[in-house]
Structure 1
Amino acid sequence: MNKFLKRMLAKEDVSVYKNKDSHLRQVLTTKDFLALGVGTIVSTAIFTLPGVIAAKYAGPAVALSFLVAAVVAGLVAFAYAEMSSAMPFAGSAYSWMNVIFGEFFGWVVGWALLAEYFIAVAFVASGLSANFRGLIEPLGLTLPASLSNPVGTNGGVVDLFALIVLVLVAFLVSRGMSEAARVQNTLVILKVAAILLFLLVGATAIKTQNYTPFIPESKVNPDGTHFGGWQGIYAGVSSIFLSYIGFDSIAANAAEAKNPSKTMPRGILGSLVIAVVLFVAVSLVLVGMFHYTKYAGNAEPVGWALRHAGHPVVASVVTSIAVLGMFTAIIGMMLAGSRLLYSFGRDGMLPAWLGKLNKNNLPNNALLVLTIVTIILGAFFPFETLSQLVSAGTLIAFMFVSLGIYALRKREGKDLPMPGFKMPLYPVLPALAFIGSLAVFWGLDIEAKTYAGYWCLLGLVIYFVYGLHHSVLSKKNNQK
């Protein structure tokens, strides 16, 4: 039994990851990471969630929900910045936990993150498809229901546009980080410009009475959730947190960063600050334009508000760029997800074929598997409830990374290098980051936590049946 536990808790030597990832090309700069972070964080959610959360949970105080969620995400981002500065490896939290806590905990965290990447990529692709179909319908261009929806939804067989989008993005990512970064940077600039256009035009239609009362009176919704008061704001936080988790996709690409001790913290923290400002601003303008009740069940509140405020042309422009901008989130998640799968294969936790690099030193085997899985999810299966796994899985990783700072500090300057960035107010902030992540996780609905439990159970089965016996680290330790 002791030998078994020793294998599970074996820690990877930091020099091993340095050597394994040394073939990846270090081409990404701070500018690239800012674009990657903003592109992933400021995605579909900014055009939909402010209205949805205002109508269902928080009213005009939706801006406070975004701020509270941002504070929790910011605390965790500090931890991510220090971790990625000290250990710039592919696989982000998975690789860090292998070094800090041992192989078993690394697998638990990595498996939780894999749910985020699989489902988030498919989720955004489906959202892009729905918005694109909405844009071309006024032109008389429509697809039959069988090609517009996944199996079992409104007579659907396959979501054709989602499939095409995933194949196109996978092809782009397979060409290398430099090309993907160029496209990402351009699309992010366009998307931010569209958001600023909405803010400028929407601000002219604000009616101050729509902000009163800013925090509506508390009541219980028919589905048992809370609306209004601080309980409504808290309910909004758990639903909104999905919007901020994209900064972990930056860390997954740390092995391909130039001067990672500086570029990683700047990319992670800088992209989060930009995202917070944009989310809060959009929320305030949106609920100021029309009473929050108008956004109930509205799938595109930004476009709707602009059209009903007398700006149909601006609405079309913003919605068109929003659809184009969704590509940035898919690019970011595909990059991160393929690097995580590569890390699993690199370490023997999944078949070693996943950890192979092609002649251009790119993990395209891992990218192929990620693409196939996300096509199956996004094009063929309805998965609205599964989308909640994105938040649940990531919050599990956030809690481990927050606690990992305590173990990291003991080893910095010894077997681990001194990072270029350190989490401030140690040891208080790591504890607050953990408590904040736990509080948000607790606020998720029962379905999200149940699905997270099933996913973790599947991960444990794979670990004990395959990973533990094929792990490169276990084999190395057995030979000693």
Structure 2
Amino acid sequence: MAVAHVEEQQLLKTLRWYDGFVIALANPGFLLGSLGYSVADLGGWGAALLWGISAFVAVFINTIYSELAAMFPQKSGGLSLYAHEAWRKYTTLVGPIATFGYWIGWSVVLSFLGLFIGQLIQGAWFPGEPIGSPFGDGYFSTPGGCQVGLPQLIGIGLVLCVWLFNVFGVRIGMAFGYVAGVVLMIPLFVMMILPFLNGSFDSDNLTFKLNDPGLAWGGIQLALVWLWIMCWSAWGVDVCATFAPEYKDTARDTKMALRSAALFSMFVYILLPIGFVGGGTEKLVSGYAYTDAMDKIVGSTRLSDFFLVCLCISFIISMNTATADGGRALLGISRDGMTIKWLGRLNKFNVPGNGMTVDMVVNILFLLFIGNNFGILAASNLGYVLAHMFALSGFVLLRRDRPHWPRPIKLGAVWVPIAGILAAWCALLTIVGFGWMQVASGGYGETKEKVIGILVLLIAIVLFLYRRIVQDGERPHWREETPTMPEGMADPTASAAVSAPAT
């Protein structure tokens, strides 16, 4: 009797390293979305210092991920899948925690930035319309007391748009990314370079608040909390590794994408806070008055609408990337047996449509039922930074446990202790940042947000157990045997032992 074998649908290899670089242009949008909050707490010089430190650390982190991505070229889902590969020999629970933590860190970008764009548009063009939570009344309220105003409705529309950009194929999303990336250069030039060229930069506009009297631990606590919050933005170039299976030359393109994106990001994260705040004022940058700050830099109110449009497009780039990355993270999670099978399917356009749809629904619910999106973003950072901690420590474990595994990109031995130090840095940031995130601007991070951050990780474990016990029919087990070499390749140490003469 003939048996039909159905080959699993695979992601298409259509991207080059510069496509990955364009995808990572989401990062300046992440920075702009949080810059006002950080300047309010830290001052212009303090914000520039900490954003620069965070982006500098990201260069080292993403260099390490280039080796891991080349080791597992078929794994979609990025750093969290590498963490699972390294840790499942010791515990299977790291996998679902890291993968769902990584996914939620990217996913909530949609609701956060969608609401941010809505607030910018409402304030500039529709000042008479309800602004909604958390600043005022809305058209209607939802259970839990969230006020839904014009910004929330705009955010929902944008979430639907970026879902459409991506669900019909990677090239449609990439085409939009290239157009938006070109437009992004306009506000970046105005914020980063123009203040130094036209004389609007004034160092008196920048202050340093980390040495203010009364700060806990002499300001170190506030600095560590903000360094933890900044991870979701400054470390976001890891998205280039998520697309590793889709690069035409996995090793070269992944390495080039990660390196170029990390270096460009570091340049932006250091210079933009200095130029933008120095050219405007700290008071203007705090909150949503970006167009007012740019008016001061260029000396013309007629350009306000144009720069506002450019800013909104830059944020949409970030949302576009978050949709693409979040969907692929869920795909990888499912295909590695860590969540329900439905999320492991590609649609007819060879993209993870199911995962992207889950992202869309979750973020629309955030916009409808949760008013404090910045607090939710901070809560989601718990899983995101933990994913980095497990991936970086996983680099150390894989060097020890799989020394002969093919590494098309192999870093020098010095990178093993560097990875260990960075994993410890993630642990420190998580303890201080999650424990005291309420000291950041606005008092975000009270009990509700912390509970949500923990619940996401608990749900991940429940879905993992459902997949293994119900869908796969397995008995619960907390460790797994791991291969020392890829399937179909012999371990050189084993063959040497077999061929050795008896003594």
TM-score when normalising by structure 1: 0.83
Is the CA contact (8 Å cut-off) linking 2:97 and 2:383 kept in structure 1?
A: no
Is the CA contact (8 Å cut-off) linking 1:80 and 1:251 kept in structure 2?
A: yes
CA distance in 1, matches of 2:475, 2:332: 16
* Match of residue 159 from structure 2: 166
* Match of residue 270 from structure 2: 280
Is the CA contact (8 Å cut-off) linking 1:125 and 1:166 kept in structure 2?
A: yes
Larger Rg: 2
Give 1:291 deviation, angstroms: 5.1
More divergent stretch after superposition (430-439 vs 171-180): 430-439
Over the residues paired in the alignment, what is the CA RMSD in angstroms? 3.3
CA distance in 2, matches of 1:106, 1:472: 19
More divergent stretch after superposition (267-276 vs 447-456): 447-456
Give 1:54 deviation, angstroms: 2.4
CA distance in 2, matches of 1:461, 1:28: 35
* Match of residue 443 from structure 1: 432
Give 1:150 deviation, angstroms: 7.0
CA distance in 2, matches of 1:374, 1:247: 22
AA matched with 1:26? K
Is the CA contact (8 Å cut-off) linking 1:406 and 1:427 kept in structure 2?
A: yes
CA distance in 2, matches of 1:115, 1:445: 15
* Match of residue 391 from structure 1: 381
* Match of residue 492 from structure 2: none
CA distance in 1, matches of 2:77, 2:415: 25
Task: Write the mapping of 1:445-464 to structure 2, written as runs, cut at 5 A.
Answer: 445-446=434-435, 447=445, 450-464=451-465
* Match of residue 47 from structure 1: 32
Asked if 1:99 corresponds to 2:92, the answer is: no
Which of 203, 208, 213 is matched with 1:208 structurally?
203
Is the CA contact (8 Å cut-off) linking 2:67 and 2:410 kept in structure 1?
A: yes
Which of 280, 296, 299 is matched with 2:287 structurally?
299
Count of equivalent residues: 449
Please give the per-residue CA displacement for 1:342-391, whole angstroms capped at 9, x wherever unaligned: 22333443332222223333322222222222222234432432111332
Give 1:335 deviation, angstroms: 0.8
Change (3 A) 1:67 1:238: same
Is the CA contact (8 Å cut-off) linking 2:192 and 2:271 kept in structure 1?
A: yes
Give 1:412 deviation, angstroms: 5.8
Asked if 1:128 corresponds to 2:128, the answer is: no
SS of 2:339's partner is coil
AA matched with 1:72? V
AA matched with 2:290? V
Change (3 A) 1:174 1:46: same
* Match of residue 181 from structure 1: 174
Asked if 1:115 corresponds to 2:90, the answer is: no
Which of 224, 229, 232 is matched with 1:239 structurally?
229
Identical aligned pairs, as a percentage?
16
Give 1:219 deviation, angstroms: 2.2
Please give the per-residue CA displacement for 1:179-224, whole angstroms capped at 9, x wherever unaligned: 211111221121123211233333321123345x656633236xxx
Please give the per-residue CA displacement for 1:256-288, whole angstroms capped at 9, x wherever unaligned: 111111111221221121112112111112332
* Match of residue 332 from structure 1: 321
Change (3 A) 1:214 1:350: closer
* Match of residue 59 from structure 2: 74
Give 1:36 deviation, angstroms: 0.6
SS of 1:220's partner is coil
Please give the per-residue CA displacement for 1:118-144, whole angstroms capped at 9, x wherever unaligned: 322221222222223233227x88899
* Match of residue 31 from structure 1: 18
AA matched with 1:400? F
TM-score when normalising by structure 2: 0.79
Task: Write the mapping of 1:9-20 to structure 2, written as runs, cut at 5 A.
Answer: none
Is the CA contact (8 Å cut-off) linking 1:245 and 1:394 kept in structure 2?
A: no
* Match of residue 494 from structure 2: none
Task: Write the mapping of 1:261-276 to structure 2, written as runs, cut at 5 A.
Answer: 261-276=251-266
CA distance in 2, matches of 1:205, 1:246: 31
CA distance in 1, matches of 2:41, 2:244: 38
Structure 1: 5+ residue stretches without partners: 1-18
More divergent stretch after superposition (427-436 vs 90-99): 90-99
